[in-house]
Amino acid sequence: MSTATLKVATEADTQVEDLTDGFHLVIEALKLNGVDTIYGVPGIPITDLGRMAQAAGMRVISFRHEQNAGNAAAIAGFLTKKPGICLTVSAPGFLNGLTALANATTNCFPMILISGSSEREIVDLQQGDYEEMDQLAIAKPLCKAAFRVLHAADIGIGVARAIRAAVSGRPGGVYLDLPAKLFAQVMNAEAGAKSLVKVIDPAPAQIPDPAAVKRALEVLKSAKRPLIILGKGAAYAQADEAIRGFVEKTGVPFLPMSMAKGLLPDTHPQCAGAARSTVLKEADVVMLVGARLNWLLSHGKGKTWGEPGSKRFIQIDIEPKEMDSNVEIVAPVVGDIGSCIAALAAGLGHDGPSAPADWVATVRAKREENVAKMAPKLMKNTAPMDFHGALGALRTIIKERPDAILVNEGANTLDLARGVIDMYQPRKRLDVGTWGVMGIGMGFAVAAAIETGKPVLAVEGDSAFGFSGMEIETICRYNLPVCVVVFNNNGIYRGTDVNPTGGSDVATTVFVKDARYDKMMEAFGGVGVQATTPDELARAVNAAMDSGKPTLVNAVIDPAAGSESGRIGNLNPQSVLRKK
C-alpha cells in the first residue's frame, strides 16, 4: 500500500499515522483480484478514481457513452471468464450503463457495473441532490446481485462479493454502488490493507451427479437421430478441447448457436449448421450444452421441432432452475460444462462413435445440398451490392484470417452474416445475443481488440451502427485494430419506404440517402473507404486487417435488398388495417 498512503501528524505531533482512502482501497481491491482493465466514462464523482487507476497501472478505457462502456465490460467478461468492469457517474450515467448490465445478466456474461452515487442522507430524504437517485433499488431487479458500500473498511468485502457473484454459478451482471463520500473517507493504511479480500476460487467447479451423467448417456446412446446443440455457455466455459473430443467421439451431428460458432469449425464434417431446419425437425434426442430453449430455439416446441412429442432432451447447464423451463428435460445434468463433459466422455468408454450412420449421412447430404444452393449467391459481384454478394467477400476474409474477431449486429446484416460467414475458432463471433439487441457493436469491438489484441471486423447494419457509432472516436483514440463495415442500405430493414401521406417527412424507417459513414472515420484520423462492389469491399477490409489501422468501410447495399425485421419478421406485428 506504499503508493496509497498519506502521512498525517497526530495531535501530539509525536507519531505519524499512515492513512489510505476509499479511492485507493477500491483500486487495490480490484488489482488484488486480477482486474487490470476498466471501461467507463469519467465524471462526478469517479473522475479521480479513473485517473488514479490509470496511475496505478490499470488500463482505463474511456468511452463517449456508458452503454458502450458497459457492453465492452460485458463482452470482456465473456471473453476472459473474469468480471468486466464498467465505471460510471451517478444517475444518468448509471442508467445508461444499466442497459448493458441487464443485457449482460440476460446473456450470462460476468460484469460489474460500478457507479458513483449521491449522498445517502439526501437521497433517502429525497431532498434533491445533484443527480439524486436510489440507484441500488433500481439496479436490483435487473442484475444478479447488487451491493452498496458505505464505509471504507468494507470496500474489500464489497468488491469480493461483487466478483464472486458475477462469476460463480451462472455468470451475470452485478451492481456495486459507491457513494461519493466513500471515496474520500480515510482510514489507517495498515487496517485498510488488511481489509482487502482476495477471492479464492471465484467460480468453483460444479461436479455433476454420476447418476445424472449415466442417465444422460443412456438417453444419448438410445437415440436413432441424436443432435448436440452447443450454446454460448459452452463457448464461455473454455472447455474447448474437451467439448471437441466429446463431440467427435460420439460422432453426433452438432448445431452451434450463433456465439458458439467456431467452438468446432463450421466446416467440421459433423457440423449441421447448414442443415438447421432438418436436424431440429427430425432429431429424436437433443443434447443442449450451455444453450437455453428460449425464443432462439422456438422454446423447444412448435413447427420448428417437428411432430409433438418426437423429442427427448438432455440438458447440461450450471443453473438447475434452467431445467424444464420450456419443455420436459428427461436427462438434466447440472454442473459446469468442463466437469460435465469430462464425466460424460469418461462414461462413453472406448466404444466407437454412437451416432447411427444413416442419420449422419442424411444430415451430411442435406448440408451439402444447402451449401451448394447458397454458393452462387455469394459470388455475385454487382453494384450496388446485395447482402449475399457483400457477405461472400467477408466470408473469404474470415476464412483466411480465422483468428480475427467478428462482431455482428443489424437485422438482415445479422441474420444473413450468421449463416454465410463460417467461423473456425472458439469465441470469435460476438453478436446481439439473447435479446437480439442493437447497440452492442462498437462496445464489443473495442473490448475484443483490447482483451485479445486480435484484429476485429465489425459487420454492422447502418441502423445498428448508429446506436454506438460515436465510439469510432474511441477506436481512433486508442488506435485499435478495428475495421467497421457499415452495410448501408439507406435505412432500417430497407431504404425504400415512402411516407404514406406524401408529406415532406421521409418514412419512419428511412435514413439520409447515400450517407457516407466512411467520412465519420476520417474525421477522427482513421481510414474511410467507400465500397460499391464485393471486390472493393474485400480490398478495403484486407488492407485494414493488414495495417491494423482503424478503418470504416461504407458498403453500398441495394436499398431494396433487405426484408422487414430480417428473419424475425414473425415477431413484428403488422396492422392489417395499415394503408400501404
User: Footprint of Mg ion on this chain (CB under 5 A)?
Assistant: 461-462, 489
Cis bond before residue 559 (omega within 30° of 0): no
Task: Please say which residue, 226 or 461, places its beta carbon nearer to Mg ion.
Answer: 461
Query: For residues 139-178, which are near ligand ADP according to CB under 6 A?
Result: 170-171
Least Å distance, CB 174 to ligand ADP, is: 15
Check binding of 418 to ligand ADP (CB under 6 A).
Answer: no
Burial 276-303 (b: 16+ CB within 10 A, else e): bebbbebbbbbbbbbbbbeeebeebeee
- Answer whether 538's CB lies under 8 Å from 398's CB: no
Least Å distance, CB 492 to Mg ion, is: 6
For 27, the grid coordinates are: 483500486
Check binding of 318 to ligand ADP (CB under 6 A).
Answer: yes
461 binds, among ligand ADP, Mg ion, none (CB under 5 to 8 A by kind): Mg ion
For 443, the grid coordinates are: 462496445
199 binds, among ligand ADP, Mg ion, none (CB under 5 to 8 A by kind): none
Task: Please say which residue, 88 or 315, places its beta carbon nearer to ligand ADP.
Answer: 315
> Beta strands of 498-558 (E only): which ranges?
527-531, 551-556
Query: In the structure, how many helices (H) and strands (E) does the chain have?
Result: 22, 20
Choosing from 46, 259, 341, 557, the residue that interacts with ligand ADP (CB under 6 A) is 259
Question: How far are the Cα atoms of 242, 397, 439, 456, 562 from residue 214, in angstroms, in the given order?
Answer: 18, 43, 43, 42, 48
Choosing from 337, 416, 476, 483, the residue that interacts with ligand ADP (CB under 6 A) is 337
Check binding of 18 to ligand ADP (CB under 6 A).
Answer: no
Q: Starting at the earlier edge strand, list the strands of the sheet with 285-289.
A: 254-256, 226-230, 285-289, 312-317, 331-334
Here the contacts of 242-249 (C-beta below 8 Å, separation 24 or greater) are 242/338, 242/341, 242/342, 242/345, 243/289, 243/337, 243/341, 245/345, 246/341, 246/344, 246/345, 246/348, 249/345, 249/348, 249/353
In the shown chain, the binding pattern of residues 55 to 94 toward ligand ADP, with x for contact by CB under 6 A and - for none, equals ----------------------------------------
Pick the stretch among 298-306, 318-326, 381-389, 447-455 that binds ligand ADP (CB under 6 A): 318-326
Check binding of 232 to ligand ADP (CB under 6 A).
Answer: yes
Please give the Cα distance from 162 to 517 (Å, whole number).
40
489 binds, among ligand ADP, Mg ion, none (CB under 5 to 8 A by kind): Mg ion
Check binding of 526 to ligand ADP (CB under 6 A).
Answer: no
Task: Please say which residue, 262 or 461, places its beta carbon nearer to Mg ion.
Answer: 461
Least Å distance, CB 527 to ligand ADP, is: 34
Task: Please say which residue, 28 or 317, places its beta carbon nearer to ligand ADP.
Answer: 317
Task: Map grid coordinates 439473447 to a residue.
Answer: 434
Pick the stretch among 187-195, 263-271, 288-296, 347-355 that binds ligand ADP (CB under 6 A): 288-296
- Binding residues (CB under 6 A) for ligand ADP: these are 107-108, 170-171, 231-233, 236-237, 257, 259-260, 290-292, 294, 296, 317-319, 322, 336-337, 434
